[in-house]
Structure 1
Amino acid sequence: MENKLVYVVSDSIGETAELVVKAVASQFNGGGIEIRRTPYVETVEDIEDVIFQAKNNHSIIAYTIVIDKLKDYMDQRAADESIIAVDLLNPLMNAFIETFKKPPSKQPGLIRKLDHDYFRKVEAIEFAVKYDDARDPHGVLKADLVLIGVSRTSKTPLSMYLAHKGYKVANIPLVPEVTPPEELFKIPRFRCVGLVITPEKLNEIRKERLKSLGLMAQTNYARLERILEELDYANKMMKQIGCPIINVSNKAIEESANYIIEDLKIERRAD
């Protein structure tokens, strides 16, 4: 089936509109939707270009435009050409105006201003990259959180996700033949979280990983006996440290991160 197109148009970067479109598309199992983003729309000519493309491709336009002149032009031209153009911001913006009795700034890109939170996020991402996979164990002492677990328990993806929330995360792989860094035993146990997984799930993940690398799935890395040995070692280390443990077998990254933030209440260190 031919892909259906949605044009995402914004007077800023367009992240918000794209996320909303993806959320809706997910309700149709993806729906064969192709998203084409047009960011930083500044002129009516920019809008005309999108209108032309959308008309010729029988598409939907989803937009986040706060500049009144451009928004009005988009609405008018879409109506002229019988194109469905969905305004993703103004209905909620109008609700704010009506309820809170305060006018909006009508400035594009305010959410991305270089404020304290933005710089915290950038610093946290750089930290996660630098101290990923025990590259430098000294990061353990500087981290808001340290993730430990055997290979393929989502330590790196979870570290990066939490970094985008502003948390400085280091992660340490647990391998029976490798002594964990001594720094791991010097931090408060609540700043360390162990990630565990069922042997069957880990076996499946590792086999797929080997296949993607063009390697034999029967290597020691994916053997069930080796996996059981690693998991047993990891459990002993986690009990020794006394850290909380999350079973990630059937959890999305977002779910694990939310558990860490909301339930375990891991806090960022003071700047």
Structure 2
Amino acid sequence: MHLISDATGETLNTVARAAMAYYADYQPVEHIYALVRTPKQLSRALAEIESQPGVVLFTLIDTELRAQLEKRCGELTIPCISILDPVIASLAQYLNAQSRPQLGGQHALNAEYFRRIDALNFTMIHDDGQHAEDLDQADVVLTGISRSSKTPTSIYLANRGIKTANIPIVPNIPPPKELETVTRPLVVGLIASAERIAQIRKHRLLAMNEQGETDYVDQESIAAELSHMRKLCARHGWPIIDVTRRSIEETAAAVINLMRERHEAKGSDS
């Protein structure tokens, strides 16, 4: 697959991988060409397409570059698809307005961009229980036992502009008092099966060149940690997400849905 973009190519990458998920028996080989904005840059991509033919997906604003790409792909009888065309055409019809393309417009340094940067900074500072004294400034607080995907989920949410802190629940160590007194953020508990947690913890110990059976990797001990975690969440009415078979993206989507439901509930109460 050849992915050609005049910006960062993030949109193309996402669409290509989502489409390939429907063909699990095949392993895609991606050729990525980002920031293609001149005929010389496009010619390099075309040379590789000719030498290694494959489906071409693109997002190009420049009409001459687009015409050159479509013409050459037509000569090579290679599928060439502008992935945004159907959406743009539908919007034009619905809004009865002409589109005004802006190169890299989705990456503009606007208020939304700086909101995401602010959220990332907050999330990095408040990782793994740090700076719990200002936990109430978060939008979301994720809590859970070790290796329940708190940090990667927090970072993914921060990339969506959501200030996220995460608090580990450690055996025999009480969580910071601020966790149980926050009022502003949504607090969500993350759990997984004891088997899955044990597997991840063992891999972590191996990566750190540490060996030996300890309570940290013992499934019965982990089950006790999870039981304590569930009771803590039940006591405070915090929702729980089981991440055993969820990707980070799916867990984050579930958190965002909980945020929306909470917001809608507050709106109906007011």
Q: Distance in 2 between matches of 1:160 and 1:208?
A: 22
Cα shift at 1:134: 0.9
The equivalent residue for 1:177 is 172
The equivalent residue for 1:40 is 35
Is the contact made by 2:55 and 2:80 (CA closer than 8 Å) also made in structure 1?
yes
**1:25 maps to 2:45:** no
The equivalent residue for 2:267 is none
Moved more, 168-177 or 95-104: 95-104
The residue type equivalent to 1:124 in the other structure is A
Question: Which of the residues 33, 55, 58 maps onto 2:53?
Answer: 58
**Deviation by residue 1:220-268 (Cα, 9 ceiling, x = unmatched):** 310123213322332343344332222223333333323322245355x
The equivalent residue for 2:251 is 256
Cα shift at 1:75: 1.0
Question: Which of the residues 217, 231, 238 maps onto 1:222?
Answer: 217
**Deviation by residue 1:161-194 (Cα, 9 ceiling, x = unmatched):** 2112211111110112322112112212862122
Q: Distance in 1 between matches of 2:118 and 2:249?
A: 20
| Percentage identity across paired residues of the two chains | 30
Change (3 A) 1:263 1:192: closer
| Residue ranges of structure 2 left out of the alignment (5+ in a row) | 264-270
Output aligned runs, 1:152-231, within 5 Å. 152-188=147-183, 191-216=186-211, 218-231=213-226
Question: Which of the residues 4, 21, 29 maps onto 1:9?
Answer: 4
The equivalent residue for 2:68 is 73
Q: Distance in 2 between matches of 1:157 and 1:51?
A: 37
Change (3 A) 1:69 1:48: same
The equivalent residue for 1:3 is none
Is the contact made by 1:66 and 1:106 (CA closer than 8 Å) also made in structure 2?
yes
**Deviation by residue 1:144-173 (Cα, 9 ceiling, x = unmatched):** 111111001111121112112211111110
**Deviation by residue 1:11-47 (Cα, 9 ceiling, x = unmatched):** 1111111111111222222722121211111222221
| Residue ranges of structure 1 left out of the alignment (5+ in a row) | 1-5
Q: Distance in 1 between matches of 2:55 and 2:27?
A: 14
Is the contact made by 1:125 and 1:168 (CA closer than 8 Å) also made in structure 2?
yes
Q: Distance in 1 between matches of 2:57 and 2:249?
A: 26
Change (3 A) 1:217 1:77: farther
Q: Distance in 1 between matches of 2:258 and 2:165?
A: 20
The residue type equivalent to 2:196 in the other structure is K
The residue type equivalent to 1:140 in the other structure is L
Q: Distance in 2 between matches of 1:176 and 1:189?
A: 27
Cα shift at 1:196: 2.2
- DSSP 3-state at the match of 1:221: coil
Q: Distance in 2 between matches of 1:141 and 1:190?
A: 6
Q: Distance in 2 between matches of 1:23 and 1:254?
A: 12
Is the contact made by 2:7 and 2:36 (CA closer than 8 Å) also made in structure 1?
yes
TM-score, scaled to structure 2: 0.87
**1:134 maps to 2:150:** no
Change (3 A) 1:228 1:34: same
Moved more, 105-114 or 204-213: 204-213
- DSSP 3-state at the match of 2:29: strand
Change (3 A) 1:15 1:30: farther
Is the contact made by 1:121 and 1:164 (CA closer than 8 Å) also made in structure 2?
yes
Q: Distance in 2 between matches of 1:40 and 1:77?
A: 19
Cα shift at 1:209: 2.9
Change (3 A) 1:185 1:97: closer
Cα shift at 1:54: 0.9
TM-score, scaled to structure 1: 0.87
**1:144 maps to 2:139:** yes
Cα shift at 1:8: 1.0
Q: Distance in 2 between matches of 1:40 and 1:103?
A: 25
